[in-house]
Structure 1
Amino acid sequence: MARQEQDREDLMREATALYPRAELQVQHEIEPVFWGQKRSGQFSFYFGGDPVYQFDVQGHLRRAYLDGQLYRTQGTTLARLKRTRTADSSTLERYDLTEAEREAVLSGMSDRFAKVLGQLEDPQSFQLTAFLADATEQELLMQIRAHISLVLQGATELAPRIRGKR
């Protein structure tokens, strides 16, 4: 997740920690969809600048940026984080989502990924516009589909609490 909440203009160039990575134009999405994987196997999807979803290797949500708000897993719930900046410091205020709020976030995420997966099954509904990978386009698309499938399988589960983060 970016330290600065700003437009994520050129992820293909700037997201060097994500390799392989790819950008797709999907029919029902206004902004390009960016996907990338870390060396650890964790992966991310960016739908333009917002929303952004980061997952562990099992496809469980770790972090998100939705409607201008930062979210982070606490293991059993999601915390919404609000950054307060002063001239001297920056602090994060944490609010743990209720079960209903958590379910709404996860349901919205699941719906969006189900639509994208459906579009990726129809070659006329998407275009791979850029990629950096040691793989063919077909292999890369298979990997992206597999990651979306993991997300959908684990859509009701959160990743374990991020160590060192409370």
Structure 2
Amino acid sequence: MARDTHDREDLLAEATGLPVRGVIQMPDGNEVVVGFRDDGSPSWFFAADPVFQFDPSFQLRRIFCDGTRYAVAGGQILRLEQTASGGRLQLTKHPLNSEQTQQMLQRWEDRIRPLQAAMQNKTHRWQGTSVPIAEIEPRVLQWLADCPSPPTIAKVSRLPRRRSS
């Protein structure tokens, strides 16, 4: 997972959009960074790749996996391909078929289940947090308990805009 300590430190220091965040060391030495936005939507970083982002309703909304970006639309995962054409960047969306979608959801399950087991068995260790461990750990455990398996796919990649008062 986090092969470079510098990457982990950057996420802890600079991921200000995720005010509640921390690094979890797994029993095998791999690290997972989890962060929550103000609305409760988490991002899970298994090193720099893969990354899974959810909305506040436990729906998968964005993925970065094997160097490729993915978004969602209408409850379907889309592979995003950026190409240069005539000096301009163009983003092309390629819907995943059913098998590819299941493989992507399985990647999530393969990463999150060992983390869930380590936390339940208390074989993990927090390496750093933006808030006290007593605040972030129950939040992570509750989110893991509440998230469906496999997670549903959101209708849109963007989070709802916050209304200003």
TM-score by length of 2: 0.82
Match of 1:11 in 2: 11
Q: Percent identity?
A: 24
Say whether 1:33 aligns with 2:29: no
Match of 1:116 in 2: 115
The alignment partner of 1:90 has SS state of strand
Displacement of 1:156:
4.1
Q: Which amino acid aligns with 1:140?
A: I
CA distance in 1, matches of 2:137, 2:46: 17
CA distance in 2, matches of 1:75, 1:67: 23
Matched length? 152
Say whether 1:150 aligns with 2:146: yes
Match of 1:4 in 2: none
The alignment partner of 1:40 has SS state of coil
Kept after mapping to 2: 8 A contact 1:22/1:132: yes
Task: Specify whether residues 150 and 28 from structure 1 end up closer, same or farther in structure 2 by C-alpha distance, changes over 3 A only.
Answer: farther
Displacement of 1:67:
0.6
Which aligned segments of 4 or more residues in structure 1 are displaced greater than 3 angstroms? 85-88
Q: Which amino acid aligns with 2:93?
A: R
Task: Specify whether residues 100 and 122 from structure 1 end up closer, same or farther in structure 2 by C-alpha distance, changes over 3 A only.
Answer: same
Match of 1:57 in 2: 56
TM-score by length of 1: 0.82
Kept after mapping to 2: 8 A contact 1:77/1:99: no
CA distance in 2, matches of 1:8, 1:78: 27
Compute the RMSD of aligned alpha carbons: 2.1
Contiguous gaps of at least 5 residues in structure 1: 1-6
Contiguous gaps of at least 5 residues in structure 2: 1-5, 159-165
Task: Specify whether residues 76 and 29 from structure 1 end up closer, same or farther in structure 2 by C-alpha distance, changes over 3 A only.
Answer: farther
